[in-house]
Chain A
Amino acid sequence: MNNSEAKSAIFASIRQNLAASLPFDAAHHAHHAPKDSTFTTPVLPELSTENLIENFRKNLESVGGNFSIVYDESEAAEILLMMIGEKKARKIAVSDSPLVEKIVGFLKMDAEFIENASADRLFECDLGITGAQWAIAETGTLVLESESERHRLASLVPPVHVCILEAGQIRQTLGEILELVQQSLSRTITFITGASRTSDIELTLAIGVHGPGELIVILIDKTEEAEN
């Protein structure tokens, strides 16, 4: 396969065709020019952490996500223990986030916690626990950066995904998040909004087709604790 030959041919064709278009462009532009100057990103009022959390919760729940708020890691562990019991999870895939490790450290139970699971073992897991690097309030989205945590598969393969989030990680808009993650671009960035879904059969919604059928977010908000 002579790839450089194909490359030069494609570029020659692009340049030749763009040049052929020049005589028509001015006339067309006069009629169809996009009104670019009208575009402004709406300026949103700066939201308090409380409002951000409320927005995030509302939008997460609107896509079927489950939300709980706790004061600290040990309370997060209590909720987690309850959930694991409820789901009767025996094998649990965990990411390598220090926060997740700390919380899992609180758990006294005989379920098996598997970090860095191979593909085969992952498919046996009943639950996955990860953190997230950011969250988007306006869409209820979790943002995972691969350079911060190994959480791509633990968040995807088991039927239940539990994500532990801290209040300070929430931002209001997608635009803010894109600017933040671009500063030190991870190899893979994953946005997660709700549980895996499909409408491929008669446009009927079905949950949990290839990814988890259940998404649970546990938010740690320590400012709440200070106020109480």
Chain B
Amino acid sequence: MEHLTAETFDQNARAALADTQLRGALKNLAVTFGERRQAAIATVENWEDLRERARSIKDETLAHLDKYLTDFADNAEKAGAQIHWARDGREACAIVLELLKERDATKIVKSKSMATEEIHLNAALEKTGIDPVETDLGEWIIQLAGETPSHIVVPAIHKTKGQIADLFVEKVGIEKSDDVDVLTKTARRILRTRFAEAEVGISGVNFGVAETGTILILENEGNIRLTTSLPKTHIALMGIEKVVPRFTDLDVFLKLLPRSGTGQRLTTYQSLITGTKRNATDEGPAEVHIILMDNGRSRMLAHPTTRQSLACIRCGACLNACPVYQQIGGHAYGSVYPGPIGAVITPQLVGIGKTKQLPFASSLCGACREVCPVKIDIPELLLHLRAEIAEGVTETSTHKFSEKLAFGFYSFAWSRPEFYKLGTKISRLLQKFVAKDGKIGKTSGFLAKLAPPLGAWTAWRDAPTVAPKSFREIWKSDLENK
């Protein structure tokens, strides 16, 4: 399947809107996740305090990231883990490949990790003839389909169970069933053989504790526990922003992340891993490698507005709450990070040149900011990026000139009461010709055919008409009638 790119966001979004299968698959997302989240956050009394606390922990960490990263690496090494540093995705992939080559390992199991998706690790491994097996159910489904995740938490949300049933018939040869339990048991059966033979397990990291060198990984299925305990070698890929200062800071994040992500008080499993096993006969891998990866993250530290992006704990709540994401799903964003958070981190990670449309993929309604467990002001970030894009615009000078002229006129008229009043009067007169049932737009049929710029608005949505009487006029006549 051809993967979409962020460069063609507008086209992607239009295609997604026309895709009825996709719209059907996304139908329940907002309501189901929204309700689950609401119920879960009602089980803590101090939700708003927790959000503030989490954000201030993240701010403190990011302001001294060099210190906390040093502590994390030192303490993890003391406990027996091996630390590797990667400036970018290419280096991180090279480190993984080198580790596999040294161990002559070809049987790899993977648990869900957005960082490995970000650097396209699977593709890099496949080039050398190694086929890593995704073991998270959703990730395995999209790996079988040759697709990319469309959601941070539920990667196969864009697929209906009918599509998944067909996929399983084709790829693993089971009899067709769209019973979710049957599909799930099929995955269990097949992936168990992969776990049993795996030589290396690759995972991501949710939090790394500076004070102890511990990594924490959350999950519901149990595949992360298998990935990090059965194979001889465990490789964990961790973005440098994942560090938190103290072990007890995890309390705050363990309250926020599951509630925001899946609406659970806790996910089924948390694995807190500190270094390697202490006796050769203990359970667990003999070697643990942690790759600390920058890949564009340190650049985001350069301004307090962009720095917020690094506070993200990848819960996906902003995707579920976003009216744009709810309609078009994740693939249209052309990035492994979709939705509101994707629209702000993708341009920062890969550069604004090829992602110019993403910061505009929002109505700035602010729903994302409201649900964000670490209070990232995503609308502020979107505006920051839009400003950056506008500064670099090199469109034709006539376009710039007409836009300047229009906004100059608008600013002149709308800051003077007499012109403002005149403007509404003229609008009231003119709208008589185009309005229908108090709306101007497609239904009225006339203005939509007008040349831009007005037609551009009404081609897609109705514009409300100017009210017959302004507030001031009503106020005045009411006073006179008393």
Q: Could you list which residues of chain A lie within 8 angstroms of chain B, going by C-beta atoms?
A: 1, 3, 6-7, 9-11, 13-15, 17-18, 20-21, 24-25, 28-29, 32, 34-36, 38-40, 42, 59, 63, 119-120, 123, 138-139, 141, 146-147, 150, 152-153, 156-157, 174-175, 178-179, 181-182, 185-204, 206, 208-212
Q: Please tell me if the beta carbons of A120 and B229 are within 8 angstroms of each other in the complex.
A: no
- In the assembled complex, the CB of A209 is this many whole angstroms from the nearest CB of chain B, namely 4
CB of A187, distance to nearest CB on chain B (Å): 5
Closest 6 CB pairs of A and B: A211-B222, A200-B138, A28-B304, A210-B222, A17-B301, A191-B270
- Complex: A99 Cα to B56 Cα, angstroms: 43
> A77 vs B65: C-alpha distance in the bound complex, in angstroms?
52
Contacts A3-B84, A36-B53: A20 and B225 contacting too (C-beta < 8 A)?
no
Pick 23 A–B contacts, CB within 8 A, sort by A: A1-B95, A11-B66, A18-B302, A21-B302, A24-B305, A32-B377, A119-B230, A147-B278, A156-B222, A156-B225, A187-B282, A187-B284, A188-B229, A188-B274, A188-B283, A193-B264, A193-B266, A201-B183, A202-B180, A206-B184, A208-B184, A209-B187, A211-B222
Which residues of chain A come closer than 8 Å to B299, judged between CB atoms?
13, 17
A67 CA / B98 CA spacing, docked (Å): 48
Contact call A187/B87, Cβ cutoff below 8 A: no
Known contacts A34-B375, A206-B180, A209-B184; decide if A42 and B45 are in contact (CB<8 Å). Answer: yes
Q: B137 interface residue, CB < 8 Å from A?
A: yes
Q: How many A-B residue pairs have CB under 8 A?
A: 243
Q: By the criterion CB–CB under 8 Å, are B262 and A199 in contact?
A: yes
Beta-carbon nearest neighbor of B228 in chain A: A188
A32 to B381, CA, bound (A): 13
Q: When the two chains form their complex, are residues A193 and B225 in contact, meaning their CB atoms are under 8 A apart? A: no
Q: Is the CB of B221 closer than 8 A to any CB of chain A?
A: yes
Separation of A34 and B183 alpha carbons in the complex (Å): 46
What chain A residues lie within 8 Å of B275 (beta carbons)?
Answer: 187
Given contacts A17-B298, A187-B278, A187-B282, are A139 and B266 in contact (CB under 8 A)?
Answer: yes
Q: How far is the CA of A63 from the CA of B98 in the complex (A)?
A: 42
Does B145 sit at the interface, judged by CB under 8 A?
no
CA distance A3 to B91 in the complex (A): 10
Binds A, one of B249-257, B351-359, B431-439, B447-455: B249-257
Contact B220 A204 (CB under 8 A): no
Question: In the complex, how many angstroms separate the beta carbon of A119 from the nearest chain B beta carbon?
Answer: 6
Instruction: Decide: B52 and A201 in contact? CB cutoff 8 A.
Output: no
Question: Across the interface, do B251 and A188 meet the contact criterion of CB distance under 8 Å?
Answer: no
In the complex, chain B residues whose CB is within 8 Å of the CB of A182: 212, 247-248
Give bound CA distance, A178 to B254, whole Å: 11
Interface string of B284-312 (1 = CB under 8 A from A): 10000000101000111111110100000
B contact residues around A36 at 8 Å (CB)? 52-53, 56
Interface residues on B, range: 35 or more
Given A10-B85, A138-B265, 15 additional A-B pairs, CB 8 A: A7-B85, A10-B87, A17-B298, A21-B302, A39-B52, A141-B266, A150-B282, A181-B272, A191-B272, A193-B269, A198-B221, A202-B160, A208-B184, A210-B225, A211-B222
Contact digits for B216-233, partner A, Cβ 8 Å, 1 yes 0 no: 000011110110011000
- Contact between chains at B222 and A196 (CB < 8 Å): yes
In the complex, are the beta carbons of A13 and B298 less than 8 A apart? Answer: yes
A198 to B304: give the CA distance in the assembly, Å. 37
Q: B214, A191: Cβ atoms under 8 Å?
A: no
Q: When chains A and B are docked, how far (Å) is the Cα of A36 from the Cα of B54?
A: 9
Q: Among A6, A14, A204, which residue has its beta carbon within 8 angstroms of that of B86?
A: A6
Interface of B is mostly: helix
Contact of A24 among B187, B277, B304 (CB under 8 A): B304
**Contact yes or no, B226 A156, CB < 8 A:** yes
**A193-B298 contact, Cβ under 8 Å, with A15-B66, A34-B52:** no
Name the A residues within 8 Å of B377 (CB-CB): 32
Query: A193: nearest residue on chain B (CB-CB)?
Result: B266
- B337 at the A interface (CB under 8 A): no
Which residues of A are found within 8 Å of B50, using beta-carbon distances?
A: 39
Q: Which of B56, B221, B248, B271 contacts A197 (CB 8 A)?
A: B221
- In the bound complex, residues from chain A placing their C-beta under 8 Å from that of B79 are 187
Q: Which of B24-32, B200-208, B396-404, B472-480 contacts A (4 or more CB under 8 A)?
A: B24-32
Chain A residues in 8 Å Cβ range of B269: 190-193, 196, 211
User: A20 CA to B300 CA in the complex, in Å?
Assistant: 11
Asked whether A201 lies within 8 Å of B137 as measured between CB atoms, the reply is: yes
Q: Specify which of B52, B98, B222, B229 lies most central, judged by the most chain A CB atoms within 10 Å of its CB.
A: B222
> Which of A34, A196, A201 contacts B220, CB < 8 Å?
A196
- B176 proximal to A (CB < 8 A): no
CA distance A1 to B300 in the complex (A): 26
Q: Which residues on the A side are within 8 Å of B196 (C-beta)?
A: 119-120, 123
Is there contact, CB below 8 Å, between A190 and B184?
no
Q: How far is the CA of A172 from the CA of B126 in the complex (A)?
A: 48
Q: Given contacts A17-B301, A202-B25, A209-B137, is CB(A187)–CB(B222) below 8 Å?
A: no
C-alpha gap A189/B282 in the complex (Å): 14
Q: How far is the CB of A181 from chain B (nearest CB, A)?
A: 8
Q: Are A18 and B63 in contact (CB under 8 A)?
A: yes
Select from chain A the residue with minimum beta-carbon distance to B227. A210
Q: Is the CB of A6 within 8 A of B91?
A: yes
Distance (whole angstroms) from the CB of B89 to the closest CB of chain A: 13
Q: Is B161's CB under 8 angstroms from A202's CB?
A: yes
Q: How close is A172's CB to chain B, nearest CB, in angstroms?
A: 13
B59 interface residue (CB < 8 Å to A): yes
In the complex, the answer to whether B212 meets A18 with C-beta atoms within 8 Å is no
**Which residues on A sit within 8 Å (CB–CB) of B159?**
201
Which of A147, A187, A192 is the one whose CB lies under 8 Å from B273? A187
